[in-house]
Amino acid sequence: MMALVLAGVAAAGATWWLVSRGPHRQDLVLYGNVDLRQVELAFNNNERIAVVLVQEGDRVKRGQILARLDTSRLEPQVAQAEASAAAQREAVERLHNGSRPQEIAEARANVESAQADAINARGQYERRETLAANSVLSQQDLENAKAAVDVAEAKLAMNQKALDLVIVGPRKEDIGQAEAVLRADEAQAAFLRQELADAQLVAPVDAVVRTRLMEPGEMASPQKPVFSLAVTDPKWVRAYVAEPDVGKLRTGMAASIALDSFPHKRFDGWVGFISPVAEFTPKTVETTELRTSLVYEVRVFVKDPSDQLHLGSPASVYLSTNDGKPPYSPGIAAIARVQP
């Protein structure tokens, strides 16, 4: 019996030394696939495609023009809207400037002319009134003279009010209405300019063209993507960790990634996301646990400056979770259980 215990202790010690001193200190390995973000890129406008500038596999930079729409009908609309806005802008400026000195002088002249007419009509009426008193002029002629006086005085009052309005200038309500019309015209012009800018399909990020879905001559719309882009940065390995091991992980933990395509190379990475929600093992995951076990999704981001990793490539993720402490040795635990 004593020989059996000593043999167990020796085996446990050897196991502990090999695990703690061996070259592979990782005590957690995850299996998954390389994943990256994809962009379905479509035009904002409904118009016929004029030209497509890139092919599948082309690398594109942020801001690069990938395709253009036909703008032969849109450009005249932009010009018309800008001309309307310019005309309304001048109208608002005229209202703000008020009446010109020449307009005020003209209104004063009209008042003076109406005043002279009123004085003349009043004088004629007074003379005819004297003649009518001496029975030299008929009553009808006197009434006509009185009516002429009334008309001249009304015309004088009207011209005087017109002079007052010219001096005061436009009403603030008229200025506000003109400014509102100007804002509407400028908004319409801005909208059409944006539609003209949207006639160019621009890459939103650095990426690789995965699929070219439409060709020149086809009718584009916001519901029909023209390209499918694969974003080259960031990339990550989507893996799953079993429930007993999730406590060993933390965000920012360093990782080493190996791929079958590069058997003699390791890629550096780090744990960027640990799902807070448990789920049953997906059918596509590769683990040694039963498929009914609960797992958590983990995203291990990969440094790939040369863009060597491809979407969907199987990958192994090696994580060192012992923080410098000797890893757990099942042999020592087993010896502890058999010791008397």
Q: Minimal CA–CA distance to 241: which of 324, 299, 284?
A: 299
Helix (H, G, I), strand (E, B) or coil at 279: strand
pLDDT, tens only, 232-283 = 888 899 998 888 888 888 899 999 999 988 888 899 999 999 988 887 766 5
* Identical fold between 40-70+196-227 and 77-193: no
Residue 72 phi/psi, 5-degree rounding, is -65, -30
Which whole number is the average pLDDT over 200-218?
Answer: 94
Instruction: Sketch the domain layout of the chain as residue ranges.
Output: 40-70+196-227, 77-193
Q: Over range 144-157, report the average pLDDT.
A: 83
Contacts of 322 (CB under 8 A, 6+ apart): 25, 27
Lowest mean pLDDT among 75-79, 160-164, 173-177, 275-279: 160-164
Compute the C-alpha angle 137/143/146, nearest 5°. Answer: 115
Q: Which range has highest mean pLDDT (214-228, 233-247, 292-306)?
A: 214-228
Q: How far apart are CA 94 and CA 138, in angstroms?
A: 54
**CATH placement of domain 40-70+196-227:** 2.40.50.100
The pTM of this model reads: 0.59
Given CA atoms 264, 267, 271, 277 in this order, what sign does their dihedral have? Answer: negative
- Is pLDDT larger for residue 212 or for residue 285? 212
Q: How confident is the model at residue 282, as a pLDDT?
A: 61
Please write down the HEC assignment for all residues of 5-48.
HHHHHHHHHHHHHHHHHCCCCCCEEEEEEEEEEEEEECCCCCEE
23 or 332, greater pLDDT:
23
pLDDT digits (tens, 9 = 90+) for 35-75: 998 999 999 999 999 999 999 989 999 999 999 999 999 99
Q: Which residues pair with 266 in a beta bridge?
A: 258
Q: What is the third-level CATH fold of 77-193?
A: Helix Hairpins (1.10.287)
Nearest to 310 by CA among 107, 57, 83: 57
**Cα–Cα–Cα angle for 168, 173, 92, rounded to 5 degrees:** 80
- Kindly indicate the confidence band of residue 322, based on its pLDDT and cuts at 50, 70 and 90: low
Tokens of 296: 């958590």
pLDDT at 211: 94
Q: What number is the average pLDDT over the span 86-99?
A: 85
